[in-house]
Amino acid sequence: MYESKHNWNDAMNAEIITIGNELVSGSVIDTNSSFLAERLLSIGIEVTRITSVGDNELDITDSLESALQRSEVILITGGLGPTPDDITAEVAAKTLGRELVINEEALDWVKGFFKKLGLEMSPNNEKQALIPERTELIMNPTGTACGFLAREKDKLVFFLPGVPRELVRMTDESILPILQREKGEGFQFKTTTLKVFGLGESKIAELIKDVVQKCESVRIGFLPNYPENYIKITAKGLDYEETSTIVSTIEEEITKQLGDYIFGRDDQTLEGVVGDLLRENRDTIAVAESCTGGLISHRLTNVPGSSDYMMRGIVAYSNQAKTDLLNIPASLIDESGAVSSKVAEKMAQGVRELGKTTLGLAVTGIAGPGGGTPDKPVGLVFISLSDKKETVLKGYNFPGNRAQIRLAASHAALDLVRRYYLK
């Protein structure tokens, strides 16, 4: 996986410091940094470094001092809570040479927060109103830990809570608007992500090599997200329209190469795309699953409003269930085996007929780790899609462990429905 990097030196630089023992002990994965980096990039600010340290004075001071020497914008998350190990505000005051004072606005906020919930405020929470002087308060609409912005010469230093949910809201409502204002008109970034299924990373790279090579002002990144691959196009420009046009042009050229292997873009999911196709065509679907064990039904029904087209799912894990619920003759299972092309087809037909739906989708296979034979190894999966007129069958040998095989099989099944509508 790689992401090309172009010479965008005129972009504003930022640095992120995340604070918390749970981060450096490996108990918690730091998701705040990538969230902040992505959001900053969307307004033309590039993050050049991310540092995580524990809740201790020396490491916090040192990382803040180093960052002040390098970057124009510094975002610090964590350590603003009510417990004794939360020392970020105190260390910030010391490092920036400011007094720690009770901020009345913050105190009112914390008091109001508890009052609204009908709870008594613990004395610990009063500590959350102790904030370095000469800072701007950043309200936290969903928590007690207010953030603050310190201006240190020409640098902006943001101190923010570490709870992801609180940070997300404060970023969009306060931090990005402040940064937009500070940096003036400047450069805008425009990003589009193309989502690909059915082509490996190296094959994609080969197919779009020429497009990538001639891109000078555009960054193209490859991100595998098993079993999908993402292509992320980022362009920079002074003008929003112009930047969008550049991204659209690259998108078109890549689409010309990859065609319908691209199933969606940005926030789209495969199950969402399939759902839209079913709804647009006023079709309905029923699903019969064996080795995927309910995953396809789960994914289809993840989409709000999926009850418009998703009628029923059958997880026919036992052979008896296949016979009872899908009308598969026991003799066919005896002859061909539960994992066979014939049983897959019968499952798709059976679930469609019994459910009186437009489409019937079925999967049977061996997810492992046990149950494989030389003839029918772990990873062997049959997928079938049936409509009134015909029944399509696909056979696969998926690599990987149980979870990977199940995930890839559910993807391949959903993709079969998508491609049904491309015909």
Please list the alpha-helical segments (H only) found in 87-208: 88-96, 104-117, 123-126, 164-170, 176-183, 201-207
Binding test (CB under 8 A) with its own copies, winner from 39, 169, 342, 419: 39
198: its two tokens: 């059915």
Binding test (CB under 8 A) with its own copies, winner from 267, 305, 374, 423: 305
Q: Are 20 and 79 in contact (CB under 8 A)?
A: yes
Indicate the residue among 135 and 284 with the shorter CB distance to its own copies. Answer: 284
- Of 288, 221, 271, nearest to 41 (Cα)? 221
* # residues contacting its own copies (CB under 8 A): 88
Indicate the residue among 306 and 358 with the shorter CB distance to its own copies. Answer: 306
Q: Are 232 and 193 in contact (CB under 8 A)?
A: yes
Q: Which residue has tokens 């039904």?
A: 297
Least spacing, CB of residue 298 vs its own copies, in Å:
4
> Which residues between 208 and 267 bind its own copies (CB under 8 A)?
221, 223, 232, 234
Amino acid at 114: F
Q: Residue 204 — φ and ψ, nearest 5°?
A: -60, -45
Site pattern 7..26 for its own copies (x: CB under 8 A)? -------------xxxxxxx
Question: What CA–CA distances, in Å, run from 89 to 18, 59, 60, 125, 163?
Answer: 13, 14, 11, 13, 16
Residue 100, judged by CB atoms within 10 A of its CB (0-12, 13-18, 19+), counts as middle
Residue 405, judged by CB atoms within 10 A of its CB (0-12, 13-18, 19+), counts as buried
Binding test (CB under 8 A) with its own copies, winner from 83, 217, 373, 397: 83
Q: Are 387 and 352 in contact (CB under 8 A)?
A: yes
Question: What CA–CA distances, in Å, run from 175 to 31, 36, 96, 171, 202?
Answer: 17, 10, 20, 5, 39
| 1 sits near its own copies (criterion: CB under 8 A) | yes
> Which residues between 122 and 181 bind its own copies (CB under 8 A)?
162-163
Piece of the chain touching its own copies by CB under 8 A; list 105-113, 167-175, 253-261, 312-320 = 312-320
> Which residues between 356 and 415 bind its own copies (CB under 8 A)?
356, 368-370, 402-403, 406
Indicate the residue among 59 and 136 with the shorter CB distance to its own copies. Answer: 59
Piece of the chain touching its own copies by CB under 8 A; list 143-151, 168-176, 207-215, 310-318 = 310-318
Q: Are 182 and 12 in contact (CB under 8 A)?
A: no
Binding test (CB under 8 A) with its own copies, winner from 43, 56, 61, 336: 56
Indicate the residue among 83 and 260 with the shorter CB distance to its own copies. Answer: 83
Binding test (CB under 8 A) with its own copies, winner from 314, 344, 381, 405: 314
Piece of the chain touching its own copies by CB under 8 A; list 2-10, 126-134, 135-143, 151-159 = 2-10
CA gap 182, 88 in Å, rounded: 25
Piece of the chain touching its own copies by CB under 8 A; list 53-61, 90-98, 237-245, 261-269 = 53-61
Burial profile 178-206: b = 16 or more Cβ within 10 angstroms, e = fewer: ebeebbeeebbbbbbbbbbbbbeeeebee
CA gap 366, 381 in Å, rounded: 6
Residue 307, judged by CB atoms within 10 A of its CB (0-12, 13-18, 19+), counts as exposed
Indicate the residue among 135 and 250 with the shorter CB distance to its own copies. Answer: 250
Indicate the residue among 21 and 257 with the shorter CB distance to its own copies. Answer: 21
Least spacing, CB of residue 263 vs its own copies, in Å:
19
Q: Which residues pair with 107 in a beta bridge?
A: none
Binding test (CB under 8 A) with its own copies, winner from 77, 88, 306, 349: 306
Q: Are 380 and 359 in contact (CB under 8 A)?
A: no
14: its two tokens: 């930022």
Piece of the chain touching its own copies by CB under 8 A; list 90-98, 105-113, 177-185, 309-317 = 309-317
Binding test (CB under 8 A) with its own copies, winner from 252, 266, 324, 334: 324
> CA 337: distance to chain centroid?
39
Indicate the residue among 135 and 295 with the shorter CB distance to its own copies. Answer: 295
Piece of the chain touching its own copies by CB under 8 A; list 137-145, 207-215, 316-324, 388-396 = 316-324
Indicate the residue among 24 and 332 with the shorter CB distance to its own copies. Answer: 24
